Amino acid sequence: MQDSIPQAPTKVDFLLAEDFRQEEGNKFTVIGLLNGNDVRIVGAEAGKALPSLAILATVRDGAGNLNLVGDLFTPSGKKLGETKGVAIKPADASASILFKWLPFPVPEFGPYLLKLSLEGKVFEFRFQISNQKTSVT
């Protein structure tokens, strides 16, 4: 039996959190949702690391075995890492792709960029890491 030709998606949603725990049935428990895609580190300096950081990408449409490449870039454009693989996307359900770093290096503050390529179609997700001088009470 020959595999069908993959259909590239047009819609991908992203969530940023400290961690995601995968459950049965495409369900995820979110730990430390980072509202507004904004990571604020209290009193830290660049060059440190977060204990963990995770991005959950949910593929809404498309179908088949989708070739994927995920590239993460610092604010200055330096590539922090690359992930390659295959996402299996059923035609009648969403598919989830989890990127997780333990720890997550923070070489500089500013806007980070994840470029997710699925069958050559690129989806961009931006999030901010900033230094908060004091804690908010």
Backbone angles phi, psi at 91, to 5 degrees: -65, -25
CA distance linking residue 29 with residue 2, whole number of Å: 36
Q: What is the pLDDT tens value at each position of the chain, 137 positions in all?
A: 345 788 999 999 999 999 999 999 878 999 999 989 999 887 767 778 899 999 999 999 999 999 999 999 999 999 999 999 999 999 999 999 999 999 999 999 999 999 999 999 999 999 999 987 765 55
Model confidence pLDDT, tens digit, residues 53-63: 999 999 999 99
Q: What is the pLDDT of residue 3?
A: 57
Q: What is the pLDDT of residue 68?
A: 96
Q: Hey, where are the domains in the chain?
A: 12-132
The residues with which 15 forms a beta bridge, in sequence order, are 56
- CATH of span 12-132: 2.60.40.1930
